[in-house]
Chains A and B, each alone.
Chain A
Amino acid sequence: MALPQTVGVPAVRARASLWRRARTREAATALLFLLPLFVLVVALIFYPVYRAVWLSLTDKLVGYPERFVGLRNYAYLAQDDTFHAVIRNSLVFTVGSVGLKIVTGVLMALVLNNVIRGRNFFRGLFLLPWITSTVIIALTWRWMFDAFPGRGFFNSVLLDLGVMSRPKAFMASPEGAMMAVVVANWWRGFPFFGVSFLAGMASIPRELYEAAAVDGAAAWRRFWHVTLPGLKHVMIVTTLLSFILTINDFNIVYVMTRGGPGTATQIFATYSYQVAFGQLRWGRGVTISLFVVPILVLGIVLISRYLLRDRK
């Protein structure tokens, strides 16, 4: 579009209005392009969330019409000791696996960073757990920990090495079961941390390392004073993302333990499912899921601050 070669105020005004029109057209195109997304989001995300809130204020039981009961579901859960256990378990599960993922991610990034030949190959290979179906991962680790030596990897190996004389039921105790689900979640997720940190390391300016080397800093100190601070941003973002996704996990716990033994590994998503589809109490079931919203909101606010700060 060629601009008119004129001078003077009318020309400026003409240019300004042309510019405005172009902008409006751009905005209109944007609206058009964003329409499908908008429709999807409103119809299948916002509307169900609205319905969820409404449902949590009713006593909806499958097969019967619902009745408004106000905050009765919330009050019930607040004093339900099973729900207290669910909150505890969810936090232990999430903090435990995310913590492990951070540490392993750093180690993995360090190792890969030092591999020159075949780095891409290994990086790709290490991402395998992350792309595998979580249902399969859950089944796999259930068997890894199985008490039956024919199926349980750890029992087979430890028995064969003579470290144990009898098979041990790893998942039979509440601590053991929680450990097992944390391990499964960790195994699945740490490659993502590793790859993100590796990319983060690549963007740390070489000069900082060189400066440190010149100062006579040993490898360990270079790591502590250059690498880690450089990774701070990536770490925060990845951790927040993983925290939010992990605390809402369903597949791993459901397939590995169904929340047991007893209620030892029952977390928000699995308890919500049991109440809604086992006990047929939908009002209460959806209320359980809604309890995560404050944590969700907090996490989202934090992420927005960190991630989008960069986008400007």
Chain B
Amino acid sequence: MTIKTLTWLGLALFLLVILVPFWWIASMSFKTYEQIQFATSIYVPNPFTWENYTGLWTETRFPLWLRNSAVTGLVVTAITIVVSSLGGYAVARLRFPGRESVASLILILYLIPPALLFIPLYRVLAELGATNHLSSLFLSYPTFTVPFATWLLIGFFKALPDELEEAALIDGAGRITAFWRVLLPLAAPGLVASAIFAFTLSWNEFLYALVFIQDEQSITVPVGLNLLIYGDVFHWGQLMAASVITTIPVVALYVFIHRWMVEGLVAGGVKG
């Protein structure tokens, strides 16, 4: 077999592996409870129904969860971009003692697992009175979005040529102005990539949202999905519909910026 055939075969196989689960969920989201329960029309829903989607909107608090997740995502992204662009720039472009240690520290921080922090963070947030509100997420999510974003931005900033900054400095601009006017705009792809990462990580986070928030008004989508299982009855179709709806924004965002995102992954993590 030629390399070409192997490649096409491989491509087809990967496409299958990656797309089939998505299709399975989407197809189930258009079936009625009975269709799923009694295993009729398995591969293509027939008749096709939107009732799970409408039911999700009218019978559950899904719109509220979407709103909470969106708000959290935006706030956390904003915090992340500010903190990580400042920090990333400092590590990448400013000289100060201990610079290399700070760089290593940042990577290490990303690896400290939520599985370790969730219990003590819970107590700290409870003492601050932040539990049960979205503010608990605004405070806790940056603990994993910021290290990752900073790491990414260090790579981006480092890749920018020194001369630009030097030129600005020679022209009499201070460090801060140089940063704000020159570097930041040039690092836009990096910033966008970091923002998308931060939003996505936030949107998909489950453990902290599960543990820190019980108030119905502040539930986010992943926790809400978990709640759609009430005791004895599992609303399969609605869960699928919710899964589809939840995935769409991330995929949409991603379609537009995936090139930058991959560049970011590569620049920040791989080539060093």
A: residues with CB less than 8 A from B are: 1, 23, 25-27, 29-31, 33-34, 36-37, 40-41, 44-45, 47-49, 51-52, 55, 107-108, 110-111, 114-115, 120, 122-129, 131-137, 139-141, 143-144, 148-151, 153, 156, 160, 187, 191-192, 195-196, 199-200, 203, 219, 234, 237-238, 241, 244-245, 248-251, 254-255, 268-269, 272-273, 276-277, 282, 285-286, 289-290, 292-293, 296, 299-300, 303-304, 307-312
Contact = CB atoms under 8 A, between A and B. Distances in A.
B67 interface: no
A91 to B, nearest CB: 15
B72 interface: no
Given A36-B86, A237-B270, A308-B103, A135 B204 contact: yes
B142 interface: yes
A81 B72 CA distance: 40
A139 B221 CA distance: 14
Contacts of A310: 271-272
A255 B143 CA distance: 23
Contact of A44 (B95, B142, B266): B142
A234 to B, nearest CB: 6
B100 A150 contact: no
Contacts of A44: 121, 124, 139-140, 142-143
Contacts of B117: 45, 48-49, 52
A132 B250 contact: yes
Given A45-B112, A132-B250, A134-B206, A37 B7 contact: no
Contacts of B83: 36-37, 40
Contacts of A156: 39, 42-43
B189 interface: no
By secondary structure, the B interface counts as helix
A310 B222 CA distance: 38
Interface string B29-51: 00000011111101100000000
Nearest to A45: B143
Contact of A250 (B22, B35, B114, B176): B114
Nearest to B31: A150
A289 B246 CA distance: 30
Given A127-B258, A131-B250, A139 B124 contact: no
Given A131-B251, A135-B222, A156-B42, A126 B7 contact: no
Given A27-B97, A131-B200, A308-B103, A51 B120 contact: yes
Interface in B206-253: 206-207, 211, 221-222, 225-226, 236, 239, 243, 246-247, 250-251
Interface in B96-138: 96-97, 99-100, 102-104, 106-109, 111-121, 123-124
11 contacts: A27-B96, A34-B102, A115-B7, A122-B11, A127-B262, A135-B225, A135-B226, A150-B35, A150-B38, A199-B265, A237-B269
Interface string B173-217: 001100100000000000000000000100110110001000000
Interface residues of B, number: 98
A292 B250 CA distance: 31
Contacts of B160: none
Contacts of A134: 204, 206
B62 to A, nearest CB: 14
A260 B47 CA distance: 36
Given A131-B254, A135-B206, A136-B247, 10 more contacts: A37-B146, A45-B143, A115-B7, A131-B250, A150-B40, A153-B20, A248-B114, A248-B116, A290-B116, A308-B104
Nearest to B21: A140
Contact of A49 (B37, B100, B114, B120): B120
A107 B272 contact: no
A276 to B, nearest CB: 5
Contacts of B170: 1
B89 interface: yes
A134 B206 CA distance: 8
Q: In the A-B complex, list the 7 residue pairs whose CB atoms are closest, starting with the nearest.
A: A150-B39, A310-B272, A248-B113, A269-B115, A111-B10, A133-B204, A37-B87
Contacts of B226: 135, 255
Nearest to B22: A128
Contacts of B108: 300, 304
A185 to B, nearest CB: 13
Nearest to B27: A153
A269 B113 CA distance: 9
Contact of A111 (B11, B38, B87, B211): B11
Contacts of B21: 129, 137, 140-141, 144, 153, 187
B36 A150 contact: yes
Contact of B94 (A29, A36, A107): A29
A249 B10 CA distance: 29
A304 B104 contact: yes
Contacts of B140: 44
Contact of A29 (B115, B176, B200): B176
Contacts of B109: 41, 45
Contacts of B3: 114, 219
